[in-house]
Amino acid sequence: MQYSQEFHKKSISLLADQLGENGISISSLISKISAFQIAVPSWALGAGGTRFGRFSIGGEPRNLEEKLDDIGLLAKLTKRTDAVSLHIPWDIPQDAAAIRQKAADLGIGFDAMNSNTFQDYGQALSYKMGSLSNANADIRKQAVEHNLQVIEIGKSLGSKALTVWLADGSNFPGQAHFRKALQGTSESLQDIYAGMPADWKLLLEYKPYEPNFYHTVIPDWGTSAMLCKQVGDRAKVLVDLGHHLPNTNIEQIVATLMHQNMLAGFHFNDSKFGDDDLSTGSIKPYQLFLIFCELVGGAEENAQTWESISWMIDASHNTKDPIEDLVQALEAISQAYAKALLVDRAKLTHCQVEGDVVGAQEVLQDAFLTDVRALVREARIQSGGEADPLAFYRKEKIREKLIAQRGKDATASGL
């Protein structure tokens, strides 16, 4: 919706009055929203593919340098991201020092490194039947060595974390030995963990199905947490919002993990049916809000510190301009966070103790239904970002400029 500068000022002052009456300071909200930065994955900058096709948006980044340029642009417009999450082998830097310098010049750091043992890319042994869990010890060893190489590349860039997502599993009964697959995975992860610097953390992702459809070695948060406990203190569970069966109570999983200080971080996206990787907040914004309520509550009640959690977008699809999509995602995440900060937690606790179910729901709805767009915009303006990043992007014809510079058929690496 179009808005004038004057309307924005009126909105923010009205909101300040309303929140002030409830004892909430707007300036402390603005500083929290401004400080909250979400990493962008290198594979979200090109049009995503499906099993059926891929439609290039044009002007996609052709190499790591151009991916950094796109994230630098996003950072400049939104002030909501300050890091990139790289994927190896898609993003192997030719000159790590030069890449690190370029990123620093753009105000971009290196978030968690992602290994890839879910496809073959010319390595000696195939991952067709799995990687860290493979029944063949030589393949497990090769997969461990790949992860160790990813750590080395990450060290050269200043990253401090490794994310492991395993596609390992089976498509038919009898294909895999469940217990041996878990044992192999646990031992492989221990070998990887032993090769990690002492200030790194390991983020272990889970997913119920796909690409395997009968069994997945790490299908859920419980299995991931169990493996992490076998591996070490710096191994924790990564929650990818799309990696759940329909209607799973993800906010409860978040609370449970925080209760055990086992939440490593997030992969933000949204879904209607499965691992759809749709834009965060586009399908289930109330769920996203409830997840943030648990995050804010868990941090305030010292279950786990806010700073110990990693934040990243993991979305990619084939019908939007990827930069516009990321602007929308960063906005949706900031809004959900801002709304969760508005929850009257003392009142909520009172309602819980008194058994006031209606009152508790009102507390949450009050926060969720508050229009925080002006607040998030004000935080962005105060940080030096664009008041309306999407409008700016379109007005400046940035995609057209990227197409002129990189070509209509330029394709980013990824799926």
Give the binding site for Mn ion (CB under 5 A).
240, 267, 314
Task: Name which of 240 and 321 has its Cβ closer to Mn ion.
Answer: 240
Task: Name which of 130 and 242 has its Cβ closer to Mn ion.
Answer: 242
Taking the complex as a whole, the smallest distance from the CB of residue 285 to Mn ion amounts, in Å, to 20
Taking the complex as a whole, the smallest distance from the CB of residue 321 to Mn ion amounts, in Å, to 22
Of 268, 191, 258, 183, give the one whose Cα is nearest residue 217: 183
- Which own/partner contact pairs does 300-307 have at CB distance under 8 Å and 24+ positions apart? 300/345, 303/255, 303/258, 303/259, 303/261, 304/258, 304/261, 304/263
Task: Name which of 193 and 268 has its Cβ closer to Mn ion.
Answer: 268
Taking the complex as a whole, the smallest distance from the CB of residue 325 to Mn ion amounts, in Å, to 16
Task: Name which of 244 and 380 has its Cβ closer to Mn ion.
Answer: 244
Taking the complex as a whole, the smallest distance from the CB of residue 165 to Mn ion amounts, in Å, to 6
Taking the complex as a whole, the smallest distance from the CB of residue 210 to Mn ion amounts, in Å, to 12
- Distance in angstroms (rounded) separating the CA atoms of residues 116 and 399: 30
Neighbour count for residue 164 (Cβ, 10 Å): 28
171, HSE (Cβ side, Cα atoms, 13 Å)? 6
**184 close to 227: Cβ distance less than 8 angstroms:** no
- Distance in angstroms (rounded) separating the CA atoms of residues 21 and 29: 15
Task: Name which of 207 and 406 has its Cβ closer to Mn ion.
Answer: 207
Taking the complex as a whole, the smallest distance from the CB of residue 31 to Mn ion amounts, in Å, to 29
The helix/strand/coil state of 310 is strand
Task: Name which of 167 and 293 has its Cβ closer to Mn ion.
Answer: 167
The CA-CA-CA angle for residues 270, 274, 275, to 5°, reads 60
Taking the complex as a whole, the smallest distance from the CB of residue 144 to Mn ion amounts, in Å, to 21
- Strand order through the sheet with 263-268: 113-114, 161-164, 201-205, 235-240, 263-268, 310-313
- Distance in angstroms (rounded) separating the CA atoms of residues 385 and 378: 9
Q: Where are the beta strands (DSSP E) in 189-320?
A: 201-205, 215-216, 235-240, 263-268, 310-313
Task: Name which of 69 and 314 has its Cβ closer to Mn ion.
Answer: 314
Taking the complex as a whole, the smallest distance from the CB of residue 267 to Mn ion amounts, in Å, to 4
First-to-last alpha carbon distance for the chain, in angstroms, is: 34
What is the DSSP secondary-structure string of 133-196?
T-SSHHHHHHHHHHHHHHHHHHHHHT--EEEE----EESSTTSS-HHHHHHHHHHHHHHHHHTS
- Distance in angstroms (rounded) separating the CA atoms of residues 183 and 189: 10
Task: Name which of 34 and 271 has its Cβ closer to Mn ion.
Answer: 271
Taking the complex as a whole, the smallest distance from the CB of residue 312 to Mn ion amounts, in Å, to 8
Q: Which residue is it, tokens 């294909």? A: 175
Tell how strand 169-170 and strand 215-216 pair up.
antiparallel
Taking the complex as a whole, the smallest distance from the CB of residue 43 to Mn ion amounts, in Å, to 10
Taking the complex as a whole, the smallest distance from the CB of residue 350 to Mn ion amounts, in Å, to 38
Phi, psi at 88, each rounded to 5°: -110, 130
Task: Name which of 215 and 243 has its Cβ closer to Mn ion.
Answer: 243
Task: Name which of 267 and 380 has its Cβ closer to Mn ion.
Answer: 267
Q: Cα–Cα distances in Å, from 92 out to 59, 88, 259, 322?
A: 21, 6, 37, 21
Task: Name which of 50 and 101 has its Cβ closer to Mn ion.
Answer: 50
